[in-house]
Structure 1
Amino acid sequence: MKNYSFILLVALVLLLLSCSGESEVSSPEMAIMMDSAQVSSRSSGGASRMQAEILIPQDSGSKIQVNGSLSLEVDDIDKASKMVRILVLSHEGRISNSDTGSFEQRYANITLLVPSSNFYQIIDDIKKLSVLVSNENIYSNDVTEEYIDTEARLSVMKDTENRFSTLLQDTKNIDEAIKVEKELMRIRGEIDSLQGRMNYFVKTTENSVLNLRMVESMPLTGDQWDAKKSISDSLRNLVSFSKHVADFLIGVLIFSPVIGVLGALSYFVYRLANRFMRRQRR
């Protein structure tokens, strides 16, 4: 009976030890799972922040001048010019120069000044008015470094101006006051120059210039082509050419005596030179 009791006791102790071992094994597994969950949560949060930084544009404070030129062919130069003026107003811009005329083809040269934020959009809108885009050129210039340098110089000059203004108030000698005033005027002149340069950078980076050239297409057939006009133009050119030829022949006829005299003198001099050379050889 004692043996049975001892065996049962040993079996109970082994059972308790095995349960304790399983609980110790399961506990680290749960800890590892929790740690991995925390790591994955942190990594997913970091990824979302990176995506947000990529999607949200960062203001780098750069100063870039963007300008361009565009050449088009249009069906009607008047309608196209009118639509360009409407587009410029809708994009908060203005026309700084305009030139229209006709030389073989009707044309219009227009200089547009638009905000840089609307520059590419107005180019796309203007190209929709054309039947052919002959040339498109966009060029940029980064003036960020020069802008920052000018801004720093301007700040230093303003501080210097303040110090000289204070010094001018404290001077008691007239000669010293004149010298300080002269230097102060020079500093203020440099400040005005630097401020003008800063304003130029701001204006040219916030606005873009587009040089637009439009020419009217010339179809071989259609309402815009007139056979009578073409024949009359050809006859007019033929008459003009005939007049030039006649003017040339009349000029030759009038100056023929002078040309004959010069030719005779040249021939006489040539003969004398030949005779002289022959005598020298003998």
Structure 2
Amino acid sequence: MVRRFFYSFVFLIGFAVAGCSDDETAQHERADTHSNDEAEFAVEEADDTGDSEGEVSTTDEETNDSTEDITDVDVSDQMIIYNGDISIEVDQFDDAQRQIEEHAEQMDGYVVESNVHDRDDEAGNRSGTFSVRIPQENFTSFLDELEAIGTEVLERSTYGDDVTEEYVDLESRLQSKETVEERLLAFMEEAENTEDLLDISDDLASTQEEIEQIEGRMNYLENHVAYSTVNIDIQEVAASTLQDRESLNIWGQATSLFTDTVNVLVSLFSGLVIFMIGLSPVIIPLLVIGAAVLFFLKRRQKR
């Protein structure tokens, strides 16, 4: 009995030890499997990361290329209206006017407006304003030529107006209106009665009028972008004061001074006469009394 109990006890101990060893082995296997899975996942993640980085870099390059393309397009398609104002002094007005017209013609430009008038001063110098349209590529060089014409530059300013956005908007509107026009023309061909035909005709006329307005504005912008406007103000100034004949007319100045002196003396004498006549009611009695007193005193002295 005791021996059977002993064998049973040993068998239970052996079974427990075997179960523990199997659990440890299974745990080690699971740990190894988990480690292997983590390693494989890390490798795959690294590969994915490398691929994604490659894709990102490629995307960045494509973005940079597209950005460069967009920049090039924007620069080439920019529409800017340039204008300039310049004010100069010249020795000879006629020569300056002639040179302005010649330079404008040489640079494929033209004068659209000119105003010439005399100054209200003693020198009698002339002044004038000119408005010149010049191709945009010759805008700066034309202003430089104007500076060379004048003896002194009083003012020079330039400014530009970017109309690119407005022009693009007009193009979109024009395309939309032309599409509407085509549809209305198709509807007109399919109209079955007079009432529908009249309604479509009214809509078509309104659409075509809007198209003409849009095209007119686009032509205006294109023209002012292609040709810049330069406003010129010219003031003629005498080259030297020694050439003033009036300052060299000595006899005329002496005669003028003599006349002024005589006029002053005549004015004084006239004033004295007027003063005496005006006070004659008082002065004459006083003179009579004075003469009587003087006569009486002289007569008394003789006695």
TM-score of Structure 1 vs Structure 2, range by shorter chain? 0.5 to 0.7
Q: Which residue of 2 aligns with 1:138?
A: 158
Q: Which residue of 2 aligns with 1:199?
A: 219
Counterparts of 1:222 and 1:211, CA distance in 2: 33
Q: Which residue of 2 aligns with 1:115?
A: 135
Q: Which residue of 2 aligns with 1:31?
A: none
Deviations 1:193-241 (A, max 9, x none): 1111111110111111111011112345243x33359998xx8xxxxxx
Q: Is the alpha carbon distance of 1:192 and 1:229 closer, same or farther for their aligned partners in structure 2, counting shifts above 3 Å?
A: farther
Query: Is 1:93 matched up with 2:113?
Result: no
Deviations 1:54-113 (A, max 9, x none): xxx875201111011110001111111111110010010111111112113311211101
Tell me the secondary structure at the aligned position of residue 234 of structure 2: strand
CA contact (8 A) 1:81 1:108 kept: no
Tell me the secondary structure at the aligned position of residue 172 of structure 1: coil
Deviations 1:140-196 (A, max 9, x none): 111110110011000110011001101100111111111111100110010011111
Counterpart AA for 2:133:
L
Counterpart AA for 1:176:
D
Q: Which residue of 1 aligns with 2:149?
A: 129
Tell me the secondary structure at the aligned position of residue 218 of structure 1: coil
Counterparts of 2:222 and 2:133, CA distance in 1: 14
Q: Which residue of 1 aligns with 2:80?
A: 64
Larger Rg: 2
Tell me the secondary structure at the aligned position of residue 126 of structure 2: strand
Counterpart AA for 1:118:
N
Scaled by the length of structure 1, the TM-score of the pair is 0.59
Structural mapping, 1:222-261, within 5 Å: 222-223=242-243, 225-228=244-247
Q: Is the alpha carbon distance of 1:229 and 1:123 closer, same or farther for their aligned partners in structure 2, counting shifts above 3 Å?
A: farther
Q: Which residue of 2 aligns with 1:3?
A: none
Query: Is 1:188 matched up with 2:204?
Result: no
| Partner of residue 79 from structure 1, selected from 88, 95, 115 | 95
Counterparts of 1:114 and 1:229, CA distance in 2: 45
Counterpart AA for 2:138:
N
Tell me the secondary structure at the aligned position of residue 212 of structure 1: strand
Query: Is 1:168 matched up with 2:168?
Result: no
Deviations 1:114-149 (A, max 9, x none): 111111111101110111000111111111101100
Tell me the secondary structure at the aligned position of residue 128 of structure 1: helix
**Aligned-residue CA RMSD (Å):** 2.7
Q: Is the alpha carbon distance of 1:229 and 1:203 closer, same or farther for their aligned partners in structure 2, counting shifts above 3 Å?
A: farther
CA contact (8 A) 2:104 2:111 kept: yes
Q: Is the alpha carbon distance of 1:158 and 1:129 closer, same or farther for their aligned partners in structure 2, counting shifts above 3 Å?
A: same
Counterparts of 1:171 and 1:206, CA distance in 2: 45
Scaled by the length of structure 2, the TM-score of the pair is 0.55
Sequence identity, in percent?
A: 26
CA contact (8 A) 2:91 2:239 kept: no
Gaps of 5+ in 1: 1-49, 236-282
Q: How many positions carry a matched residue from both structures? A: 181
CA contact (8 A) 1:67 1:139 kept: yes
Q: Which residue of 1 aligns with 2:44?
A: none
CA contact (8 A) 2:111 2:131 kept: yes
Counterpart AA for 1:182:
D
Tell me the secondary structure at the aligned position of residue 241 of structure 2: coil
Q: Which residue of 1 aligns with 2:10?
A: none
Q: Is the alpha carbon distance of 1:86 and 1:229 closer, same or farther for their aligned partners in structure 2, counting shifts above 3 Å?
A: farther
